[in-house]
Structure 1
Amino acid sequence: MSNPYGEIFRAPGAKGFSAAGFFARLPIAMAPIGIVAMLSQTHGEYWLAGAVSATFALTNALVAPQISRLVDRVGQTAVVVPTTIISVLAFLVLILAANRDWPAWTLFASAFLAAAMPSIPALVRARWTEIFRNRPELNTAFAFESSADELVYIAGASLSVGLAVVMFPEAGMLISTIFLALGTAAFILQRSTEPKVRPLEAGVSRASAIRQRPVQIITLALIFVGSIFATAEVSAVAITKELGQPQAASLVIGVYAVGSFLVGLALGALNPTMPLHRQLLIAVSVIAITSVPLLLADTVPLLALAVFVSGIAISPTFITAFGLIERRVPESMLTEGVTWVMTGIGIGMALGAFVSGWVVDNFGAQNGFWVSVAAGTATVATIAMGQRSLAGHKGASVAGSIPQPAE
């Protein structure tokens, strides 16, 4: 039996842009929690750390889709190079501001400018789509990238926290910035796989991809999923610190990825025939159910086990969510459509970090996981109510578009 992942990486340039994209997107996970880890140590206040992290994540959530919309119209290189330069310089200023105890407004200002960081996951998926458009290998490629995304979110966060705790407060953010600069440069230099700019399809309006109902539903759902990520990270840092084992936070956050990564890879290899909208509902239901045991984890081993179990459905959620976007969004809007979904995760991480930080400060470390339970319930409700729209036709909800047959 052939290896479906081996097949997709036989395409010219696939290994190169995928590897570069992996490192370039690590800051998506490292930066938000890295800011929390850095400022909570340098300034001693979780609310300030959460607020600065939220400033970065929320601003990026608003700006990234506009950057991707430009990418769809003029190409990756022309847009990604200047925006990445701005983001790298702003991150360096943020690190200096934390280290030198500059005024609080400099923290917020630099976090705001750092949000010019482009959506690397959307750029990577656009390249896979260019190679395997309308071919079954595209599903496997998307499954691989979704598993990689999940690994990035968890392993990146674990690395960021671990560096800040073991080395010095700014270490996680410094390494994150280096990954952004070098990874993006390596990605952009691979011009042979850069997608060509595609004209708007006949009958499709120039309206934003966010006007499509499936994009709205999935983006909202992943806001709640993103808040579950951030809550797990913030609560793990707070609980392990309360238990007198702060160094264990990195390990606890790291195990979040293991089960989900393996399940995601298996799902991509099997390519189940169940409709994607139903797969998504099952995946988010598992997320909601497995968030409950987190409330009972009062030791490091129990916390690690509960976090491991709660993460098993994350990759399947990503795989089915991005698969639905690829099937429901017109080709000329693909990068923007994927970015809106990534934006949902970013918004959720920002809100989750802020809300769970506030809960931890006021009600104790263990109670932070109530945010995960609430967010999991909201995710299920959102996807359940959106089943009809998610089962629809590509581009059908875009103003002025011509519906295409569902795939």
Structure 2
Amino acid sequence: MPNPYREIFKVPGTKGFAAAGFVARLPIAMAPIGIVAMLSQTHGEYWLAGAVSATFALTNAFVAPQISRLVDRHGQTALLVPSSIISVAAFLILILAANQDWPVWTMFASALLAAAMPSIPAMVRARWTEIFRDRPELNTAFAFESVADELVYIAGASLSVGLSVSLFPEAGMLASTLFLAFGIASFVLQRSTEPRVRPYGGVSAGSAIRLRPVQIITLALVFVGAIFATAEVSAVAITKELGQPGAASLVIGVYAVGSFVVGIILGALNLRTPLQRQLAIAVSVIALTTVPLLFADTVALLALTVFVSGLAVSPTFITAFGLIERRVPEAMLTEGITWVMTGIGIGMALGAFVAGWVVDVYGPRNGFWVSVAAGTASFLTVLIGQRALSGERADIAPAAASQPAQ
């Protein structure tokens, strides 16, 4: 039986843009938690660290879909270059502001400008779609990207925290900024696989967020993102309280181990269960496994419960993006994917801020109550939206769908 993952990488150019895309998207996970790790050490206040991180992530959550919408209309290279230059420059200013103890407003201002960072996972998936559109290999490619996303969120966060704790406070953010600059430069140079611009069929299309499936999946992943951020912030705080701050990167890193294996296996299978039901099952597992986090009072137990909590992450990503590919018009795919990605970013921003406040006020271990609440909300969102998530990809843009029949 042929290896489906090997087959998709036989196409010329796929290895190159997949590798560049992986490096370029590391800052998605590294930057938010990197800001928390950097500012909590340089300024000693979790609320400030969480607020600056939330400023970046929330602004990016609203800016990135607009960039992707322009990419759908004008092409990747035309938008990735200028937006990336702005983002890299702003991150460097933020690092200097933290290191040189500049006024607090400079940190918030640079975080706002850094939010020009484009959604690389959406750009990569658009390239896969251009190559394998309406072919079974596209499902395998999307599964591979979902596993890559999960590794980025978990391994990237672990790397960022580890560098900041073991080297110097700004180390994680500096590495993140370098990855962004090098990764996007390498990605843009690979013009042979860049998707062509697809017309909207003469329809004045609105935003992909107006589609009900996009709204449901985006909201559900807002809560999933909050679980990620809460685990990261709480892990940093708990390991510090236990006198083992260096263990934070290890605890966060084990998130990826089980989820990586489960995601790879799931991506190679051809499950007959409808995707919307697969998503509901995966999110229910995430919700249930947040409960044991409340009882983790040692580093070993914390690592174990975080490992279990991460098992369903990749399956959630795989099914979520599979549903988006089926339900969003082809000419709006980049924007549709970006809205879902930004949902995760919004959740991480809010989760970091709320968890940071809870840790400051009620203690490190109580931060995981945010995970429990977010897991429950995510499951209810997917459960209520099952009917809207069923069916195949929409054939018309949302603006046309909103017009009354003649």
TM range (shorter): over 0.9
Following superposition, the deviation at residue 392 of structure 1 comes to: 3.1
Q: How many residues matched?
A: 402
Aligned amino acid, residue 15 of structure 1:
K
Aligned to 1:211: 210
**Percent identical across equivalent pairs?**
80
State the Cα distance separating 1:400 from its structure 2 match: 1.7
Q: Is the 8 A contact 1:263 1:315 kept in 2?
A: yes
Distance 1:147 1:50 in 2: 27
Aligned partners of 1:205 and 1:398 also within 8 Å: no
Cα distance in 2 for residues equivalent to 1:124 and 1:271: 23
SS at match of 2:245: coil
1:399 to partner: Cα distance: 3.5
Q: Which residue of 2 aligns with 1:375?
A: 374
Deviation of 1:271 after TM superposition, in Å, equals 2.4
Once the two structures are TM-superposed, the CA of residue 354 in structure 1 deviates from its matched residue by 0.2
**In structure 2, what is the equivalent of residue 255 of structure 1?**
254
Which amino acid counterpart does residue 111 of structure 1 have in structure 2?
A
Instruction: Name 1:35's counterpart in structure 2.
Output: 35
Residue equivalent to 1:146: 146
Query: TM-score of the superposition, structure 2-length normalised?
Result: 0.98
Mapped pair 1:280 → 2:275: no
Please state how far the C-alpha of 1:394 moved relative to its aligned partner. 2.2
Return the alpha-carbon distance in structure 2 between the equivalents of residues 271 and 336 of structure 1. 27
* Distance of 1:95 and 1:55 partners within structure 2: 15
Q: Partners of 1:271 and 1:179 in 2: how far apart?
A: 34
Could you tell me which amino acid in structure 1 is paired with residue 290 of structure 2?
A: S
Q: Residue in 2 aligned with 1:126?
A: 126
1:13 maps to which residue? 13
Q: Is the 8 A contact 1:158 1:251 kept in 2?
A: yes
How far the C-alpha of 1:201 sits from its partner, in A, is 3.7
What secondary structure is seen at the aligned counterpart in 2 of 1:274? coil
Task: Verify the 8 A CA contact 2:329 2:397 in the aligned structure 1.
Answer: no
Match of 1:80 in 2: 80
CA distance in structure 2 between the aligned counterparts of 1:87 and 1:247, rounded to whole angstroms:
29
SS, match of residue 394 in structure 1: coil
Instruction: Output aligned runs, 1:48-63, within 5 Å.
Output: 48-63=48-63
Distance 1:135 1:64 in 2: 28
Distance, in Å, in 2 between the alignment partners of 1:205 and 1:227 is 35
Equivalent-residue separation in structure 1 for 2:223 and 2:399 (angstroms): 27
Given that 1:209 and 1:215 are in contact with CA atoms closer than 8 Å, whether structure 2 keeps it comes out as yes
Residue 226 of structure 1 contacts residue 344 of structure 1 at CA under 8 Å; is this kept in 2? yes
- For the 8 Å contact 1:130–1:195, the answer to whether it is kept is yes
The match for 1:392 is 391
Following superposition, the deviation at residue 393 of structure 1 comes to 4.0
Name the amino acid aligned to 1:21. Answer: G
Distance 1:401 1:235 in 2: 44
Partner of residue 292, structure 1: 291
Following the alignment from structure 1 to structure 2, what is the Cα–Cα distance between the partners of residues 370 and 264?
26
Which residue type is aligned with residue 368 of structure 1?
A: G
| Partners of 1:211 and 1:397 within 8 A in 2 | no
The corresponding residue for 2:235 is: 236
- For the aligned residues, what is the CA RMSD? 1.2
* Distance (Å, rounded) in 2 between the aligned partners of 1:176 and 1:196: 30
Q: Which residue of 2 aligns with 1:161?
A: 161
2:32 and 2:357 map into 1 onto residues whose CA distance is 16
Q: Distance in 2 between matches of 1:302 and 1:205?
A: 54
- Residue in structure 2 matched with residue 198 of structure 1 by the alignment: 198
- Measured in 1, the distance between the counterparts of 2:318 and 2:36 equals 28
Which segments of 5 or more consecutive residues in structure 1 lack a partner in the other structure?
A: 403-407
Query: 1-side partners of 2:199 and 2:356: how far apart?
Result: 45
Distance 1:120 1:13 in 2: 17
Output the CA distance in 2 between the equivalents of 1:140 and 1:282.
Answer: 20
Distance 1:397 1:83, change over 3 A: closer
2:83 partner amino acid: T
Normalised TM-score (structure 1): 0.97
Tell me how far apart the structure 1 counterparts of residues 322 and 201 of structure 2 sit (CA, whole Å).
20
Question: Which residue number corresponds to residue 304 of structure 2?
Answer: 305
Does 2:23 correspond to 1:23? yes
SS at match of 1:271: coil
Contact 2:205 2:397 in 1 (8 A): no
